[in-house]
């Protein structure tokens, strides 16, 4: 009786798979797995449990996942140059909760990036931090809105007994000031947490700043934004073993029991891809973001932070209020097969959240599909035709995107073949 419904679900998945390969995806929090990483999902591991740590499980039959988890941890630790790392949180928000629950008590004062300033929902009253305290204050921003005002922040920290700072955010153009704030945090015993969800792949590729090296106490992140892994979370630190034991308990049993082995397996593959290709990829991501920002600016768009070179990350922020606002613009672009999201800009009131002035653009996924600076110019031209000239460009977008189907920075066969120098190909034919 319900078989037709099953067929419809299967059909929707097929539709999604082919439609997404014909869109230009610029959602800043997404990325794609390589074919080889994706192919290991749906194995027997999708049925299994493995609480605890490799070799110290609460279930029998975990030897195989023990080896995979051990390898994933070992290589992620070397990428992030840290002593402790937990791969068990099943998302970035779960990683945040595992950590916040250890440090924040009722009444504690926590300082975060505001929502309009780009802060993540889990840092706020309605999210994870709000479960533990309601004393949440925002970092003051410089007039451009994309930087924390360091002098003002240090002044607040001198006067107000802040217990925890949470740096890192979701609208993230320039590195937050870890090295400027860490010395005072150390002196005062303030816990400096850095949420690297958006920029993990740039940190691993050594093309952003190094928040752990600069003095952050602990890093949390999701593993699927600029870092092109499966959808999971991690936490890592160089803290003392005795303190890490608390975080360990925060991850399990504090915020999860089984840790979804099916998505852990591709993450182990991604770690190897990153060790081999991460620096080249991160380099190209940042080049592409700068190139797209410049091309949009030259096409007449109100690209933010022009005076600072637009961006140092994978993101570009554009004020589109003169074109109807973020909601309207994101819808027009979607109708043309270009996918991104509306975004509050710094200094906008929260009431504008349903149609904010901004759009947020991330270039990491298109970079993984092999696009470079020249392609960013094409994308800016498509924006101009859709948004400034009111033309339907959907067919052109699809034709353009169909040329970029290989997932680069991977060990996929087609990526390897495409990288091979022409002379080698000629010699083999
Ligand atoms: N809110 C997501 C984003 O940045 O898109 C992250 O969880």
Beta carbon of 115 within 6 Å of any ligand 1 atom = no
Beta carbon of 313 within 6 Å of any ligand 1 atom = no
Which residues in 65-127 belong to E strands, given as ranges?
84-86, 109-112
Beta carbon of 170 within 6 Å of any ligand 1 atom = yes
Q: Confidence band (pLDDT; 50, 70, 90) for 405?
A: very high
Identify the three-state secondary structure at position 322. Answer: helix
pLDDT at 197: 98
H helix intervals, 305-421: 326-335, 364-368, 373-383, 394-401, 413-419
In this structure, which residue's CA is closest to atom 4 in ligand 1? 170
Nearest to 85 by CA among 51, 122, 129, 53: 53
**CATH class of domain segment(s) 25-34+279-415:** alpha beta
Give the single-character DSSP code of 159.
H
**Could you give the residue range(s) of every CATH 3.40.640.10 domain in the chain?**
36-271
pLDDT at 429: 61
**Global pTM?**
0.96
User: Tokens 């400096």 sit at which residue?
Assistant: 192
Nearest to 80 by CA among 194, 199, 213, 191: 213
- Ligand 1 atom at minimum distance from 122 CA: 7
Between CA 102 and CA 222 the distance in angstroms is 19
Q: Confidence band (pLDDT; 50, 70, 90) for 347?
A: confident
HEC secondary structure over 392-422: CCHHHHHHHHCCCCCCCCCCCHHHHHHHCCH
- Ligand 1 atom at minimum distance from 28 CA: 5
Distance 31 CA to ligand 1 centre (A): 12
Beta carbon of 226 within 6 Å of any ligand 1 atom = no
Q: Which residues contact 378 (CB under 8 A, 6 or more apart)?
A: 400
Beta carbon of 231 within 6 Å of any ligand 1 atom = no
**Residue to mutate, 26, 29, 222, ligand 1, most ligand atoms under 8 Å from C-beta:** 29
Q: Residue range 76-105: average pLDDT? A: 98
Distance 333 CA to ligand 1 centre (A): 19
Residue 415 has pLDDT above 90, yes or no: yes
pLDDT at 188: 96
**Could you give the residue range(s) of every CATH 3.90.1150.10 domain in the chain?**
25-34+279-415
Share of the chain above pLDDT 90, in %: 97
Q: Which CATH architecture has domain 36-271?
A: 3-Layer(aba) Sandwich (3.40)
Residue 420 has pLDDT above 90, yes or no: no
Beta carbon of 128 within 6 Å of any ligand 1 atom = no
pLDDT (tens digit, 9 = 90+) per residue, 302-311? 999 999 999 9
């Amino acid at each position: 009786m319900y078989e037709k419904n099953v067929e419809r679900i299967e059909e929707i998945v097929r539709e999604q798979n082919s439609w997404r390969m014909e869109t230009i995806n610029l959602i800043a929090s997404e990325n794609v797995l390589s074919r080889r990483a994706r192919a290991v999902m749906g194995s027997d591991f999708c049925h299994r449990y493995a609480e605890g740590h490799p070799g110290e499980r609460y279930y029998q039959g975990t030897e195989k996942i023990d080896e995979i988890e051990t390898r994933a941890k070992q290589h992620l630790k070397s990428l992030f140059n840290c002593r402790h790392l937990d791969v068990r949180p099943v998302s970035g928000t779960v990683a945040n909760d595992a950590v916040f629950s250890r440090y924040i008590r009722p009444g504690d004062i926590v300082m975060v990036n505001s929502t309009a300033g780009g802060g993540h929902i889990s840092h706020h009253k309605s999210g994870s931090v709000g479960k533990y305290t309601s004393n949440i204050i925002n970092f003051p921003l410089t007039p451009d809105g994309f930087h924390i005002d360091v002098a003002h922040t240090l002044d607040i920290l001198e006067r107000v007994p802040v217990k925890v700072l949470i740096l890192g955010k979701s609208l993230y153009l320039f590195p937050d000031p870890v090295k400027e704030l860490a010395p005072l945090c150390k002196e005062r015993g303030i816990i400096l947490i850095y949420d690297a969800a958006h920029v993990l792949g740039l940190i691993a590729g050594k093309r952003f700043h190094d928040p752990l090296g600069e003095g952050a106490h602990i890093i949390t992140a999701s593993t699927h934004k600029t870092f092109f892994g499966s959808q999971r979370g991690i936490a890592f630190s160089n803290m003392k073993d005795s303190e890490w034991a608390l975080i360990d308990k925060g991850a399990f049993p504090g915020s999860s029991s089984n840790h979804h082995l099916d998505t852990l397996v591709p993450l182990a593959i991604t770690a190897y891809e990153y060790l081999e290709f991460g620096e080249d990829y991160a380099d190209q991501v940042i080049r592409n973001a700068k190139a797209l920002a410049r091309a949009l600016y030259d096409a007449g768009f109100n690209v933010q932070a022009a005076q600072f070179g637009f961006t140092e990350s994978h993101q570009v922020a554009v004020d589109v209020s003169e074109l109807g606002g973020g909601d309207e613009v994101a819808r027009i672009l979607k109708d043309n097969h270009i996918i991104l999201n509306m975004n509050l800009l710094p200094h906008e009131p929260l009431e504008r959240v349903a149609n904010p002035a901004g759009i947020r653009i991330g270039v990491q996924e298109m970079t993984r599909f092999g696009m470079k600076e020249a392609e960013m110019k094409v994308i800016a031209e498509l924006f101009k035709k859709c948004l400034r000239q009111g033309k339907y460009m959907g067919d052109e977008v699809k034709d353009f995107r169909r040329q970029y189907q290989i997932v680069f920075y991977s060990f996929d066969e087609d990526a390897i073949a495409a990288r091979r120098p022409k002379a080698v190909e000629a010699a083999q034919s």
